[in-house]
Amino acid sequence: MSRLVVAGVKKRFGATLALDGVELHAEAGEVHAVLGENGAGKSTLMKILAGALRLDSGRILLDARPFDVRGPIAARDAGVAMVYQEPLLCPHLSVEDNVLLGLEPVATGVFVDRREARRRTDAALALVEAPGESRRLEPTTLVGKLSPSERQLVALARALAQSECRVLILDEPTSSLPADDAERLFEVVGGLKRRGICILYISHFLEEVERIADRYTVLRDGQSVASGTMGDTTLDRLVELMAGRRVEQVFTRSERTPGEPIVRIEELAGERLPRSATLTLHRGEVLGIAGLLGSGRTELLRAVFGLDEVRSGKVRVGAFVGPASPARRLAEGVGMLSEDRKQEGLAESLSLTDNLTLSRLDGLGPFGVVLPRRAQAVTRSFIERLRIRCRDPEQPARDLSGGNQQKLALARLLYHDVDVYLLDEPTRGIDVASRADVYGVIDALAARGKAVLLVSSYLPELLGVCDRVAVMRRGRLGPVHAAGDVTEHGLLVEATGAAG
């Protein structure tokens, strides 16, 4: 008997048919990967299972019983819990308060029973500790002081504490985690699987899906197009199923001849991070920055772009020297893509057209007037270029899937047509075929003589796309290596300091 059966589920949003007869069968005690491109319908299906949305037609069975819930609380009470890609936590509250938020045990009907609350919290945290690991999360610690991986564990503990969990949905759980923390999460997932929990696992990192999943279901254009056992397929076949076409080459790196230096950074230090960074970026090259989360990679890009204050050192862009604001950097030909698309990348309530064009209105009409038709035409060209799945240019950005929001943020930067691109995790949360498209865009930029400084936590991306790579560790940027002279293992050793 299947733990979860999804049969003929349909969901429509206005004129958009998001799900069109989806089928999925998942067993107790298995990790079932739900795969698909951005906009394929994965998030819509998961939100229906988690009670955040209601299906239009079809049926869902949980342990052979009809599953028709009317909200997230009802879903959790039924044994279905979801951990979102961006953990929904209260940073000003403690670990214990977050784990039990809304389900606090009370004494005499008024006061929180702190002894029972601690017992329940300890039980939930025990479920998310790796086997043989000593206690890492203290119930009294403020969530705002935790690392991204620790916050992910708190969100996981909260999901497991709500009820007797039968189905656990994990949406891109490793997208913000370095390799060592991802390994730890895999151990936790393995322990939950052994407890008989059915785990629906969404990820665009097919290498980890191949490792952790037992079975898979592929969605494309709102339909389930394939399912099977992971051992009976290949990664190339999964990519083809997801994209509906063969993706001949994921990484694109044409022959490049670096030109003149365009950015020189000398002993750059910020208020906190980076502590020291020196490098030279040339026209026509892609230079990658590796390192663990918190090592100072993002702060380096922010300092160069003028978002964070520079405490010491120099930044030279062409003939311009010294600190600058983001507006001045744009005028100098430098643009940045933030890793935080929700807080810094997009105005989610505005349309795709507004998000793409508001920071550059010249050329959209005569005498400084913006013609909507012209702005929409520009937007359509980038929708086609980056294969952004959307209804039309006037659709609000918040209605896009996370991966398509990421492509929209990148499109705005491309529209500025700057000379230097500072890209912070540009492929975070986007599918394999879309990553291949982004890599092609980056390669084309370098071929046109543009310079790209690329921060990424995905080491195959750095080695596959970049000409040179440097590693940042504890705020200090190490020597720059030719990409062909280093390996993933070597980069990890340098990032963790394991060799010394």
Q: How confident is the model over 430-434, as a mean pLDDT?
A: 83
Class of domain 4-243: alpha beta
pLDDT of 70 reads 82
pLDDT of 135 reads 63
33: Cβ contacts below 8 Å, ≥ 6 apart:
201, 202, 203, 209, 212, 213, 215, 216, 217, 230
Average pLDDT of the chain, as a whole number:
89
CB 93 within 8 A of CB 101: yes
pLDDT tens digits for range 298-342? 999 999 999 999 999 999 999 899 878 999 999 999 999 998 887
The band of 77, judged by pLDDT with boundaries at 50, 70 and 90, is confident
The band of 481, judged by pLDDT with boundaries at 50, 70 and 90, is very high
Q: Tell me the pairing of strands 167-171 and 277-282.
A: unpaired
Q: How far is C-alpha 22 from the chain's CA centre?
A: 25
pLDDT of 97 reads 92
pLDDT tens digits for range 31-42? 999 998 888 899
Neighbours of 56 (CB within 10 A): 14
pLDDT of 349 reads 94
What are the CA-CA distances from residue 423 to residues 16, 176, 406, 462 (Å)? 32, 16, 12, 12
pLDDT of 305 reads 96
Q: How confident is the model over 369-386, as a mean pLDDT?
A: 94
Instruction: Pick from 88-92, 145-149, 163-167, 173-177 the range whose average pLDDT is largest.
Output: 88-92
CB 285 within 8 A of CB 451: yes
The band of 388, judged by pLDDT with boundaries at 50, 70 and 90, is very high
Q: Is the pLDDT of residue 182 over 60?
A: yes
The band of 248, judged by pLDDT with boundaries at 50, 70 and 90, is low
- Which helix (H) or strand (E) covers residue 384, if one does? helix 372-386
pLDDT of 173 reads 84
CB 289 within 8 A of CB 483: no
Q: How far is C-alpha 365 from the chain's CA centre?
A: 36
pLDDT of 130 reads 67
Which residue ranges make up each domain of the chain? 4-243, 261-496
Main-chain phi, psi angles of 142, to 5 degrees? -70, 135
Domains 4-243 and 261-496 fall in the same CATH topology = yes
Cα–Cα distance between 170 and 485 in angstroms, integer? 36
Q: Is the pLDDT of residue 62 over 80?
A: yes
Q: How confident is the model over 203-209, as a mean pLDDT?
A: 86
pLDDT of 500 reads 45
Q: Tell me the pairing of strands 16-26 and 31-35.
A: unpaired
pLDDT tens digits for range 249-307? 778 888 899 999 999 999 999 988 999 999 999 999 999 999 877 789 999 999 999 99
pLDDT of 294 reads 77
Q: Is the pLDDT of residue 72 over 90?
A: no
The band of 214, judged by pLDDT with boundaries at 50, 70 and 90, is very high
Cα–Cα distance between 227 and 461 in angstroms, integer? 28
Q: How confident is the model over 415-442, as a mean pLDDT?
A: 91
Cα–Cα distance between 163 and 40 in angstroms, integer? 30
pLDDT of 247 reads 67
Tokens in use for 44? 């819509």
The band of 242, judged by pLDDT with boundaries at 50, 70 and 90, is confident
* Dihedral angle over CA of 71, 74, 76, 81, nearest 10: -30
CATH superfamily ID and name for 261-496: P-loop containing nucleotide triphosphate hydrolases (3.40.50.300)
Q: Is the pLDDT of residue 499 over 60?
A: no
